[in-house]
Structures are given as C-alpha cells and as structure tokens.
Amino acid sequence: MKRTHQLKLDSKNYFRLSNGLLLAAPPEVPFRDMFAEVVNSRCYLPSAEFRIKPGNTVLDIGANVGLFSIWVASRVPSARILAFEAASDNFLALAENVRSNHFKGISAHHYAVSDGRSKHVTLYRGFHGGIHSIRPEYRNWNSSTGRPRRTERVRAITLEQIFTRFRIKQVDFLKLDCEGAEYDILLSAPGGVLSRIRRIVGEYHDLGAKRHGGVLKEFLARHGFRTRFIAAGPDMPWGMFVATSR
C-alpha cells in the first residue's frame, strides 16, 4: 500500500485481511474489535432479510475507516456504496483504503450527517477512534481526565441532501453508527425520503427524554417501518435496531 503523506501510520496501523486486502487505520481506532463486530459477528447483517444484493445502493453513515463498506464491496462488487465519515483522520484512512484497494463501487465523503440546522457542526472526539460524536451530550462523556473532549469542525449534510446530491432513487440498505446522531439524521428526514429506504440497521443511544430508543421506534413505525430494538444489556443506554419498510 502506498502511504499518503496526510496519514501518519506505522507498521502496527496496517491490517492484512485473509482475502489479501491491506487496510489502514489511525492509532486511536480499535480495528480488531471493529473487525470482530462487523465481519465475525456480522452485527450489521443480522438475518438473511438484510442480505445486500447485486446492484443495491448502500449508505454507510459513520463509516470510520471503511471496514463495513469494504466488506460489502468484497462480497457484492456491483453494489453502489456511499460512505460518510466525519472525523478527519478516520476519513483519510477510509479514502486511502478505498483507493489503494481499487474499490470502484465505493465513494468516500468527508461529512457529518446531521439535521441541516448548520452547514458545519462540532465533532467531539472520543477517547478512541470509534466513538466520536456531533451530539453535545458527548462533550464530557467517558473522559478519563474529566476535561472536555477535543473537537473539530466538520461539514454537515442531511439525508435529504444526500439523496438529491448523489441522485439516489432508492436506498436498499442504510447503516447507521454515529453515536447519537441517528436522531438528528432520521427525525429530520422528510417522509418522501424515508419512504425510499428499504432497510435500516444501526445503533441507538439513549440520550434523554426526547432522544431514546422508544422515540426512534415510534417514529419509524409511524413512517411505515417494522422495527426490532435490542438493548446491549440490562440497563444499558444503547443497543442495536433494525427496520424494514412494510
């Protein structure tokens, strides 16, 4: 893999997969844990109903370094995959992984997907590279020092703008892993956009009275989706959800 001058990596930040692909990740990204979840456990493909088929359009929101997008492209080369990542270092690794492994079906985009209230949003960086968030609830969350997280300003885009800008007629599979921004993304989307999404798999995070799994479940049901929400454990404030259009 040709190293880009924009991405500082050493030999420990490259990962050779069994199919020969070589992927890069910033030092803060827990790549092996992510691999176990995405590839070994198939957390985003919970059943045969969610199998991605040739020619499908996939939105990967919260793509990180591209592991899910690349796994899908390796299995379904004809799928059209649009990968969105907000963190600048994760995005550089994502773009490098797509470019160096010659995945023509994946396009990488450096945006935070949000509710459209602003053209730029603040990204609160986590203590590792898999838990960055645009939600202010994450400003001090799980900080070992008690000090606010590091931040960066990121361009923002809405789900509706994605459909328009990239001329998407239908999304067959929407994957959401965006640390609380799932509410900004989905609750702000017009019904005409939601009706063009066939399946959704993602994480939900309980952030407060107006942003929790129950709110999301009710909203999706109102817009014609059958849903299933699975908490990560007893009294855990997050979990996985799946939704299929009726």
Q: Among 53, 84, 75, which Cα is nearest to 198's?
A: 53
198, part of any domain: yes
Residue 164 belongs to a domain: no
- Determine the pLDDT at residue 7: 46
Give, in degrees to the nearest 5, the angle at Cα 154 between 152 and 160: 150
Q: Let me know how many helices (H) and strands (E) the chain has, helices first.
A: 7, 12
In one letter, which amino acid is 191?
G
pLDDT at 171: 98
Q: Which domain holds residue 83?
A: 30-112+170-245
Q: Which of 76, 38, 43, 42 is nearest to 58 (CA)?
A: 76
In this predicted model, what pLDDT tens digit does every residue of 178-236 receive, in sequence order?
Answer: 999 999 999 999 999 999 999 999 999 999 888 999 999 999 999 999 999 999 888 88
Closest CA to 64 of 98, 38, 29: 29
Contact by Cβ (8 Å): 189, 159? yes
The residue that leads in pLDDT, 5 or 121, is: 121
Question: Is there a domain that residue 121 lies in?
Answer: no
Weakest mean pLDDT among 18-22, 66-70, 81-85, 241-245 = 18-22
pLDDT at 83: 98
DSSP category for residue 151? E
Asked if residue 137 is part of any domain, the answer here is: no
Q: What is the pLDDT, as a whole number, of residue 1?
A: 35
Give the number of C-alpha atoms closer than 13 A to the C-alpha of residue 126, restricted to the C-beta side: 22
49 domain-assigned: yes
The two tokens of residue 214 are 């129950």
Output the pTM of the full model: 0.91
116-124 average pLDDT score: 95
Residue 152 exposed, middle or buried by CB count within 10 Å (0-12, 13-18, 19+): middle
**Does 181 map to a domain?**
yes
**28-46 confidence digits (pLDDT tens):** 888 888 888 998 889 998 8
Percent of the chain scoring above 90 in pLDDT: 67
Q: What does the pLDDT read at residue 141?
A: 58
Task: Identify the CATH number of the domain in which residue 103 sits.
Answer: 3.40.50.150
How confident is the model at residue 4, as a pLDDT? 38
Non-local (6+) Cβ contacts of 18 within 8 A are: none
Q: How confident is the model at residue 5 (pLDDT cuts 50, 70, 90)?
A: very low
CA 23 to chain centre: 17
H/E segment holding residue 91: helix 88-100
What does the pLDDT look like over 136-153, one tens digit per residue? 887 765 555 556 678 999
The pLDDT of residue 197:
98
If one counts the domains in the chain, the total is 1
Check whether 6 has a pLDDT greater than 50: no
Give a yes or no: residue 165 inside a domain: no
Nearest to 140 by CA among 119, 125, 155: 125
Q: Above 70 in pLDDT, residue 177? A: yes
CB 100 within 8 A of CB 2: yes
In a domain, 233, yes or no: yes
| CA–CA distances in Å: residue 57 to residues 82, 142, 148, 197, 244 | 8, 35, 38, 10, 15
